[in-house]
Amino acid sequence: MKVLVTGATGFLGSHIVKTLLTENYDIVILKRSFSDTRRIWNYLDKIQSFDIDLVPIETAFEKCGQFDCVIHTATNYGRRGETAVEVFESNLSFSLRLLETAAFFNTATFFNTATFFNSATILYSYLNYYVLSKRQFEDWGRIFANQGKIQFVNIKLEHIYGPGDDFSKFTTWIMQSCLKNIEKIELTMGEQKRDFIYIDDVVDAYKLLLGKWRILGEGFHEFDLGSGKAVSIREFVEMVGRTTGASTKFIFGAKKYLENEIMHSEADISKLSDLGWKPKCDLITGLKKMIESVK
C-alpha cells in the first residue's frame, strides 16, 4: 500500500512512519526543506520526501503515482505566537489544497488528525485560531466526502503522550520538571479531566484503520481516539510525581482556570473497539516508559 504522510517529522507522524515502514508500506512524506528530521533521520533513505516550500503539492502525486491513502498529521497549534493568517495557512489553506489534490489524483482515503477541542465555545488564547481552523477543515472534508470525491476519516485525538514528545506539551513539561526535581510547580486546582493515550496505542489505531478503510464504505467517518478513561489533571500530576520519585511540591490552586476551560474530555472508543482495537498501555506503564526513555 502506498501512503502519503504529512507531519512526518513531528511526534505522531514520525511514529506512524517508523511503524508502517516495518510492515513494508510504501511511504512518501511532505515536509519543508528546513524541517528538523532528527526523529526520522535514520529512515530517510527508505522513504521518498518532497519539500513543499520548494515544489507544489502536486509533484508528489505526479512523480509517485496514485496513493491509496493520505495520513494528515501536520498541524500548527499557534503556541509560538503565530498570527491568525499563519495558523490559517497551515491548518486550513494547506490542508484543503492537499485534500483537493488527493481527490483529483483519485486517492481513496484521507485520514485527518483532528482535535478533541470540538466545542463551538470560544476558547482561550492561542487555541482560538487552532480550533477554528481545524473545525473548518473538518467541514470541508465532510463536503468532499458527501460529494463522493474521496473517503474522509476524521480521527479526534485526545491527549497523546510518550517518549520524544515536544517539551511544550503539558505532559512532557511535567515529566521533565519532576525528573529535574525542581522545587515547586504552581498549578490550577487540577479538577479538569483529560483522556491520556500512549503513542503506541495511537499508532496501532491508525494502523488498524489503514487496514479497514475498505470496509468503512464511502463518505465521512469519525472516530474518537483516546484511552476511554479520563483522569483529573491533579491525579495525573501526582502520578508523575510518585512515578519519578520527585520531591517537587505541587501547589494546586495557585493559578486560576483559564477562561472557558474544558472540564471534562473523554473519548468514546466504542467505534474503534467494534473494529477490533483497544488500548494496551495504561497510564502508569506509559509514564514508566517515558522515564526509562529519558534515562
Q: Is residue 140 located within the same domain as residue 40?
A: yes
Of 157, 179, 214, the last residue of a domain is: 157
Distance CA 36, CA 230 (A): 33
- Take residue 82 and report the three cell numbers written for it: 503565530
Q: Give the model's pLDDT for residue 190.
A: 96
Say whether pTM exceeds 0.85. Answer: yes
Residue 203 included in any domain: no
DSSP collapsed to 3 states, 27-45: EEEEECCCCCCCCCHHHHH
- Whether 133 and 176 map to the same domain: the answer is no
Q: Structural domain tally of the chain? A: 2
- What is the residue range of 175's domain? 170-193+229-294
Kindly state whether residues 32 and 125 are assigned to the same domain.
yes
Note whether residue 37 is domain-resident: yes
Q: Are residues 149 and 252 in the same domain?
A: no
Q: Is 107 part of any domain?
A: yes
CA dihedral 249, 252, 258, 264 (to 10 degrees): 110
- Say if residue 13 is in the same domain as residue 151: yes
Q: Do 152 and 182 belong to one domain?
A: no
Tell me how crowded residue 205 is: count the other CB atoms within 10 A of its CB: 22
The single-letter DSSP state of residue 46 is G
Shared-domain flag, residues 180 and 243: yes
Q: Does residue 150 share a domain with residue 71?
A: yes
- CATH number of the domain that residue 104 is part of: 3.40.50.720
The C-alpha angle 269, 273, 275, rounded to 5 degrees, equals 130
285: in domain = yes
pLDDT computed for residue 295 by the predictor: 67
Among 99, 130, 157, the domain-final residue is 157
7/78 same-domain check: yes
- DSSP letter at 258 equals P
Tell me what the pLDDT averaged over the chain comes to: 93
Residues contacting 229, CB < 8 A, separation 6+: 195, 266
SS3 sequence, 93-135? HHHHHHHHHHHHCCCCEEEEEEECCCCCCCCCCCHHHHHHHHH
Phi and psi angles of residue 248, each rounded to the nearest 5 degrees, phi first: -55, 135
Name, in order, each residue with C-beta under 8 angstroms of 209's C-beta and a sequence gap of 6 or more: 111, 153, 155, 223, 275
The answer to the question of residue 138 being in a domain is yes
Whether 199 maps to a domain, the answer reads no
Q: What is the number of other CB atoms lying within 10 angstroms of the CB of residue 262?
A: 18
Q: Which of 146, 138, 59 is nearest to 95 (CA)?
A: 138
Of the residues 157, 180, 206, the one at which a domain ends = 157
Residue 95 cell numbers, joined: 490542508
Q: At what angle do helices 94-104 and 127-146 cross, to 10 degrees?
A: 20
Q: Which helix (H) or strand (E) holds 193?
A: strand 193-198
CATH number, domain at 290? 3.90.25.10
Residue 219 counted as domain residue: no
Please tell me whether residues 37 and 142 are part of one structural domain: yes
Q: Do the Cβ atoms of 113 and 12 come closer than 8 Å?
A: yes
Both 116 and 54 in a single domain? yes
Which of 6, 164, 190 lies closest to 99 in space, CA to CA? 6
- The answer to the question of residue 214 being in a domain is no
Query: Rounded CA gap, 195 and 89, in Å?
Result: 29
Which residue stretches of the chain have pLDDT < 50?
Answer: 118-126
Residues 120 and 178 in one domain: no
